[in-house]
Amino acid sequence: MKAKWQPHVPTGGGRSFACVWLCRWWEAVGTQGRRRLTEEAARQLQKTSEFKPSYRAGSNTTRSLWSSSPRPSPQEPNQRTTEQAGESPETMSNADVEGGGQARAAAPTTGIKPPPGRYNSSNVDGQHAPVSPFYYDHAAQHERQHHTWLVPLVVLANVAMFIVVMYYNDCPRNGADCIGRSVLGRFSFQPLKENPLVGPSAATLEKYGGLDRYKVVHGNQAWRLETSTWLHAGLIHLGANMISLIFVGVRLEQQFGFWKVGLVYLISGLGGSVLSVLFIRNGVSVGASGALFGLLGAMLSELITNWTIYSNRIAAMANLLIIAAINLAIGILPHVDNFAHIGGFVTGLLLGFVLLIQPQFGWSAQPFGGKTKSKYTACQIVLLVLAVILTIAAFAVGLLMVFRGVNGNDHCGWCHYLSCVPTSSWKCDT
């Protein structure tokens, strides 16, 4: 939730914890997708004439060798060759079984070395053996999983920023009936009638970086477009956003790495602030929800652009759309800046097509020296180019309108309903 502050702050809208559900099905979908990739990769490799599986006696591990020697015909089984050589199959190595016995063990090899990464460094008679005939095996999956450190660091930074703001808020200095004054001292919270989210005053948030349209447009304080995403209106606001960030951000960082997720987070927060300034005329807006919605939008575009590697595509798409709709619907409550949510979501959606694109299935699972597929499909490339163009154009136009002081409501008479829908229970003040 991105809180929108007024001179008198009534109760703010709560944030959905649907991100917990999102994380669980995202992990399940990823597991099913990798299983499907494993099965399809095995079928592709088995169709090639050079692929010859062999089994090490006394072991359940399947290995594959790449050799220039012809495949043994049915009329010359390995068992007969083994008996002629005076050996038993149990004492033969992979190379012996593959070559038809020790008599063929010295056959020349192709000398082709496979690429590093998914293969072990050991060789049998000069031949490099893949650890597994599957492209997406467990070892490769482990190598591709990134360490998670950025998301916890962002959480700590937000918590530290909240503590600093509470220190300078110093509620007892104003003589108000502060919450926890006897225990927390200057860190005590503003009265609930002033801030129901249990936090500092609106004046303190505005002073230390809150998003104020007038100061951005007329005060040359464009830095507020980004600093406002690191401030929170209270403990409830902070806790809801940080829990959502952990459940969504950690999974994305493990899969795509810190710099991609970091760029999506920062730029999405900026995009949400730009749209907020264009349409929100009064009050101070704070919160990391624009950046969080950017991560949610990036997950949706990642599913679209990497469509072929998922098994339950329709179910995954339906779940993402439902969760996004629920969270955006919360934004129509009063005193919640839904324009920041929408701006962050659209920005993250576009960035996902650019940063979270993955190679199509089978592009490097071809035999060495054979014709390989292109790394990305034509659809992926088209989406990437369109996303880059739209992102640059949207930020250029949006920032230009912001610094010219354009009121977005003048060009869209119904857009204010996206952030608040008036009812008999509350009124909207944009």
Residue 343's alpha-carbon distances to 132, 296, 383, 402, in angstroms, are 44, 12, 19, 14
- The answer to whether 201 is a known catalytic residue is no
CB atoms within 10 A of CB 280: 24
Contact 361, 44 (CB under 8 A): no
> In angstroms, rounded to a whole number, what is the distance separating the alpha carbons of residues 112 and 98?
17
> In angstroms, rounded to a whole number, what is the distance separating the alpha carbons of residues 238 and 332?
20
Region class of 263: left (phi > 0), else alpha (psi between -120 and 50), else beta: alpha
- The answer to whether 341 is a known catalytic residue is yes
> In angstroms, rounded to a whole number, what is the distance separating the alpha carbons of residues 393 and 398?
8
Contact 153, 250 (CB under 8 A): no
Of the residues 285, 289, 301, 419, which is catalytic?
289
Dihedrals phi, psi of 277, to nearest 5 degrees: -65, -30
Strands 284-286 and 3-5: antiparallel
Cα–Cα nearest to 4, from 236, 232, 208, 227: 232
Residue 325's alpha-carbon distances to 114, 173, 307, 338, in angstroms, are 47, 43, 21, 12
Produce one character per residue of 213-252: b if its CB has 16 or more CB atoms within 10 Å, e if not. Answer: beebbeeeebebbbbbbbbbbbebbbebbbebbbbbbbbb
Amino acid at 275: L
And the tokens for 280? 């929100």
Of the residues 128, 232, 335, 341, which is catalytic?
341
Annotated active-site positions, please? Answer: 289, 341
